[in-house]
Structure formats: C-alpha cells, structure tokens
Amino acid sequence: MKIERGKLIETLKELKGKGYKYLVKIAGVDNINSISVLYFVRDIDNNKEEVVEVELDPNDTALPSVEEVYKAADWYERTLYEMFGIEIKGRQIRRLLLEKWNGKGAPLRKNFEWGAPYETKQSKKAVA
C-alpha cells in the first residue's frame, strides 16, 4: 500500500483500529532517485499482514514520528535516522547504534563512502 507522506499517521491509526496492533519492522530502502520507508504491521489474532510504503525525495527526507501510534517504532526510527539520514519530526533523536559516530554520511545510503579498507598492521610480536 503506497501512500503520501502527509497521510502516514492517519493510515497507520486506521490500520491499528482495524486490529493491526503489532509493528514488525520499519525498513528503509535507498532507490537512488527516491528513498522509500516501509512499515510492516501485523494483526496477530487473525494472522494478517500489511505493508505501508512512503516515498521520500532524497533531498527532503523529513518524516513524521509514528511513535504515538506504535511505541515499538522508537528504536526503528532512531536507526532510520542514523542509517539513512531521515529526519524524524516531532521527537528528540539520540543516536542509537552509532552513538559516537563521527564519520560523514549515512551508512545505508548508496552514495556512502566507505573509507580505506585493508589498513592491517601486523605487530612483530606474533608467537602463535
């Protein structure tokens, strides 16, 4: 189900009212021309699932927080922020996985620069 960014909270609230009370995951995908954010929700009692997709412009990634609807969204939104650089409106964000990260960019974006690999330096003390 693809929806507009403005209708996100509304749609999720509606789904929750229908019985989709369980948030499985919020995943982001970088499609280069756009960034889509997927909300996987589940109706546990009837064993049904639904996916809500929001497409964002890579240069304008502000997204409303859905924590008021699903409390479980908290940590997922934080990872979304640090992994995709998606700005979450309406809440304070503290970095989660990359708390002391001082590199540039968001790691899961396709244009992320890795830095130089193969920096191995073997010490001469090797015994075993």
Q: How far apart are CA 93 and CA 67, in angstroms?
A: 12
Whose tokens are 């699932």? That residue is 49
Element (H, E) at 88: strand 88-89
Contact residue for another protein among 21, 50, 64, 91 (CB under 8 A): 21
Site for another protein in 40-79 (CB under 8 A): 40, 44, 47, 70-72, 74-75
Distances (CA, A) of 58 to 37, 69, 102: 12, 25, 21
Contact residue for another protein among 58, 67, 91, 112 (CB under 8 A): 112
| Interacting residues toward another protein by CB under 8 A | 21-25, 27-30, 38, 40, 44, 47, 70-72, 74-75, 83, 95-101, 103, 107-108, 112, 114-115, 117-123, 125-128
